[in-house]
Amino acid sequence: MRLVDSRNYQKGYYIEGNTAKKLNTAPIREERPEREKERKVNKRISRNTRHAKAFDLKYTMALTVATVFLFAACVNMLTLQADITEQRRQIAALEKSLTELTDTNNETSKRLESSVNLTKVYDVATNELGMIYPQNGQVVSYEASDPDYVKQFKDVPKE
């Protein structure tokens, strides 16, 4: 144990460095009067305690179920979002393919139309094959269910 220098020791404090510390001090404890060891527990307090414990279990279970439901809903939503994204990608690819096919079809149609000389067709039909325009009464009109395609199974009636 060190001897305390009188200039560093004043009124129970010892100064060492830049801090001041009290020597040999312990906290002073107050004496409390003894309480009754056996407490009377109010019925209302004990009922509330039991209710709080039961509510805590119910609350925990409800929170667990809600969390599982929320997690499942999030997973479902993300799955649907991924499906929608994939379908949009497929739609875009199909639209691109449709556009390419339409352009190709239009180009082919224009090329075919430009390759046919209608004047030559008329000359061959009238001069070589002996075709003539129909006279009045030779043309028979009727309503077709599909105007794009006609298939004849028997002769067209005169009237």
Among 13-27, 121-135, 145-159, the range scoring the smallest mean pLDDT is 13-27
For residue 32, pLDDT over 90 is answered with: no
Sheet holding 13-16, edge to edge: 9-10, 13-16, 19-22
Predicted confidence (pLDDT) per residue in 51-72, tens digit: 777 767 778 889 999 999 999 9
Phi, psi of 22 (to 5 degrees): -85, 135
The rounded percent of the chain whose pLDDT value lies above 90 is: 31
Task: Name the helix (H) or strand (E) containing 20.
Answer: strand 19-22
Distance CA 138, CA 158 (A): 9
pTM: predicted TM-score of the whole model, two decimal places: 0.41
Mean pLDDT on 88-117: 93
